[in-house]
Chain A
Amino acid sequence: MSDTNMRSATISVLVENESGVLARVIGLFSGRGYNIDSLTVAPVERDGSKSRITVVTSGTEMVIEQIKAQLGRLVPVYKVADLSKEGPHLARELALIKVVGTGNTRQEALRLADAFRARVIDASTESFIFELTGATDKLDAFLDLMRPLGLAEVSRTGVAAIARGKVAIE
């Protein structure tokens, strides 16, 4: 296979919400040497019977196809969708960002947060916690700006993604 071009893939996996299912997915990635750049999981059905895993991975086209085939082979997997290939999609993640500082840097942090439409969800005289939602690169850019301004702690959710348009993946 001459294809050595790496690409990023955002893959949605709809699974039976049963014990061990996340371990199966993660074990598949680690056991076969695939990358996990981001991973999110939560139940998506009202009765809690199905969960949706969004995994961002990277590899050659052949590797990504292999990842999808391997995921599809797991018994509790309903559906595997390669959002980055099957059409336009939206990907968002949420970050909670603690910035510690006083004086000008504190003012600057607040101004930038406003520009990025980050919400202040906690404040003390020496700190803010911002809540920011957006695409991964937007979050990365904001964090880069906060770093010299007293960035103390970050908690990110990882990417949740969905295809545009009316078609649902089941």
Chain B
Amino acid sequence: MDGTITTGTGATGTGTTTEMMASGAQALLRALKAQGVDVIFGYPGGAVLPIYDAIFQQNAIRHILVRHEQAAVHAAEGYARSTGRVGVVLVTSGPGATNAVTGLVDALMDSIPLVCLTGQVPTHLIGNDAFQEADTTGITRQATKHNYLVKRSQDLTRVVHEAFHVAKTGRPGPVLIDLPKDILINPAPYSEASTAQHRSYRPRTEPDPARIAEAIALLKRSERPIVYAGGGVINAGPEAAKLLIEFVRLTGFPCTTTLMGLGAYPASDPQFVGMLGMHGTYEANMVMHGADVMLNIGARFDDRVTGRLNAFSPGSKKIHADIDPSSINKSVAVDVAIIGDAAATLRALIAAWKNDAGKQDREAIAKWWQQIDFWRAKDSLRFTQNRERGSIIKPQYAIEQLYKATRGRETFITTEVGQHQMWAAQHFKFDKPNHWMTSGGLGTMGYGLPAAMGVQVAHPDALVIDIAGEASILMNIQEMGTLAQYRLPVKIFILNNKYMGMVRQWQELLHGNRYSESYSEALPDFVKLAESFHAVGLRAEKVEDLDRVIAEMLAVDRPVIADICVDEKENVFPMIPSGAAHNEMLLGPEHKNGGNPGVTDAGLALV
């Protein structure tokens, strides 16, 4: 390494060989390379100039210059979620760091492994309200899984290695390292990653065999079982998804997933009953409501899934497998708690199921499937598209046609937040993990475009589509510039209904049709907007335009904005209103009993 000025032992206390580097910035880059980092999403500024100088002088790590720091974090999330690797962000002090906060909380809520490097004013100025100073570790303490302020050069590379370890192990999450400028400029020793166990951080990954045995005893005797899989299965790697399929096939159980778990189990498989929760399928929610044994693997009983807690799956024995002990018994009390990695847990469950001499009540399971098929026959995602020329496009139809047109291609979907996100979750079918990137926990509008950018950087030859709404897309629209600069052929598929659709839907159902501030007034011309950012702009106004626009969009090897003008009045159904139970689902206007939301005052107070 050209930055080496002396060799020998430094006083890092890690017990590994150390080497003095010309600057902290060079030591930092060497540590990043050692961690396998090949791309950083970032934005320069005064406090991080030494790092940018070091980046300039090497080629191993690619830097993607975003247009706003929030987008850097979402891009790193897209990169991480689609590859299973740690996403890396580099921003400057003060506003650079504060702009990154939304992305960090997003990653925290959805358990996405990130390392965010922030610049800081020099150590001697910390606390002086210096230019572009912010108390970054203070601000991000609750926005990260863990954070560090490096105050001594000898700690720098140890902290970097540790940050990657913390980010990707246990329940993954964002880790921030605050780097004062003098630490980046002064010489710093480089030490290799320690192979020793962390002093205090030791997440448990192997499940307790006694709990596995208890779970199998319940599952074997179950007559109305359900497997409920979440984002933890995706985070545990592709192996976990394979094991989930093996387990579900072995048992003959129905399987549902959360929004974050889409792709963990193939949507095209007959044992999949669809996504559950507020906008999940009727059958998934009815199965959950009627189950006698539930196996939750890697999901966290989010309020969007459970509906009213005291009416959630009231008759079931609950088994909860999660790598995070704090997820267990947080909102829903469970009967069997399994702490462990999803893949390790599924492996243990499969082995224990096979070794268990007990016989399943096949007859009861068959009866359960008859019941499920009855619910499924409701076809709760049904909608009607008028195919006559000049007809308005239904948003669900647009997603369905997009799905059909992209089948057989390596396709990654990201979304913004709102109605389009739910329609994408309902009508785009995911058969593989890591191909669906959405802001589930935090619900961050503006997530989809930068996330798609990160996915496209990681998968240059794949088809990457941001399914967006016309309101959300404007929240990080500046990233069109990044797409142009790096020739990232991301496709932005806007379901344009001229409303913040989900806000409008709630105002219609819960606030007497008073559409307060939810109309998207003064929208840009998205075709011209695309063109001004060196992209291709397309528009579909009527049903007969849709397939042609989709085909054109997919044929172009450049960034595209496809402005799909859809029915302004369409709502997302089915829906469990806030505060309602799973068996109190509202079905759409296609169904006879659709209509009155039946929302209680208590429900109205919920989000």
Name A's B-contacting residues (CB within 8 A): 1, 15-16, 19-20, 23-24, 27, 31, 62, 65-66, 69-70, 72-78
Contact = CB atoms under 8 A, between A and B. Distances in A.
A23 B147 CA distance: 12
Interface in B297-341: 324-326, 328-330, 332-333
B324 A73 contact: yes
B414 to A, nearest CB: 29
Contact of A75 (B137, B146, B328): B146
Contacts of A70: 326
B199 A78 contact: yes
A73 B325 contact: yes
25 contacts: A15-B200, A16-B200, A20-B137, A20-B141, A20-B147, A20-B149, A23-B138, A23-B141, A24-B141, A27-B141, A31-B142, A62-B329, A62-B333, A65-B329, A66-B329, A69-B326, A69-B330, A73-B324, A73-B326, A75-B146, A75-B166, A75-B200, A75-B201, A76-B200, A78-B200
Contacts of B146: 74-75
Interface string B115-156: 000000000000000000000011001100111010000000
Nearest to B166: A75
Given A73-B325, A75-B166, 16 more contacts: A1-B332, A15-B200, A16-B200, A19-B149, A20-B137, A20-B138, A20-B141, A20-B149, A24-B141, A31-B142, A62-B333, A66-B330, A69-B330, A72-B325, A73-B324, A74-B146
User: Which 3 pairs across A and B sit closest by C-beta, in order of nearness?
Assistant: A69-B326, A75-B146, A69-B325
Contact of B200 (A19, A65, A69, A77): A77
Contacts of A20: 137-138, 141, 147, 149
Contacts of B201: 75-76
Contacts of A24: 141
Nearest to A62: B329
- What band does the interface of chain B fall in when counting residues whose beta carbon is under 8 Å from A? 20 to 34
B333 A1 contact: yes
A79 B457 CA distance: 41
B156 to A, nearest CB: 15
Interface of B: 137-138, 141-142, 145-147, 149, 166, 171, 199-201, 324-326, 328-330, 332-333
A3 B477 CA distance: 49
A67 to B, nearest CB: 9
A88 B149 CA distance: 40
A70 B326 CA distance: 5
A72 B329 CA distance: 15
A31 B329 CA distance: 18
Contacts of A72: 325-326
B326 A66 contact: yes
A69 B333 CA distance: 14
> Chain B binding site: helix, strand, loop or mixed by DSSP?
loop
A75 B166 CA distance: 8
A19 B329 CA distance: 31
Contacts of A16: 199-200
Contacts of B324: 73
Nearest to A77: B200
Nearest to B146: A75
A71 to B, nearest CB: 9
Contacts of A62: 329, 333
A74 B199 CA distance: 12
Contacts of B199: 16, 78
B325 A75 contact: no
Contacts of A78: 199-200
Contacts of A66: 326, 329-330
A81 to B, nearest CB: 14
A157 B433 CA distance: 53
Contacts of B138: 20, 23
B145 to A, nearest CB: 7
Nearest to A70: B326
Nearest to A19: B149
Nearest to B175: A75
A157 to B, nearest CB: 25
A45 to B, nearest CB: 12
A1 B314 CA distance: 11
A52 B146 CA distance: 20
A24 B199 CA distance: 18
Given A75-B200, A78-B200, A27 B329 contact: no
Nearest to A76: B200
A19 B126 CA distance: 14
B426 to A, nearest CB: 31
Contacts of B333: 1, 62
Contacts of A74: 146
A69 B141 contact: no
B166 A69 contact: no
A70 B324 CA distance: 9
A66 B171 CA distance: 16
Contacts of A15: 200
A72 B325 CA distance: 8
A103 B431 CA distance: 87
B330 A27 contact: no
Contacts of A1: 332-333
A76 B137 CA distance: 15
Contacts of A76: 200-201
Contacts of B141: 20, 23-24, 27
Nearest to B138: A23
A27 B142 contact: yes
A48 to B, nearest CB: 14
Contacts of A73: 171, 324-326
A53 to B, nearest CB: 13
Contacts of B332: 1
Nearest to B328: A69
Nearest to B149: A19
A77 B137 CA distance: 18
A80 B141 CA distance: 20
A69 B328 CA distance: 9
A130 to B, nearest CB: 38
B345 to A, nearest CB: 18
B96 to A, nearest CB: 20
B91 to A, nearest CB: 20
B15 to A, nearest CB: 16
A1 B334 CA distance: 10
A31 B145 CA distance: 14
A16 B146 CA distance: 13
Contacts of B326: 66, 69-70, 72-73
A78 B328 CA distance: 20
The listed residue with most B CB atoms (<10 A of its CB), out of A19, A23, A69, A75, is: A75
B464 to A, nearest CB: 34
A72 B204 CA distance: 11
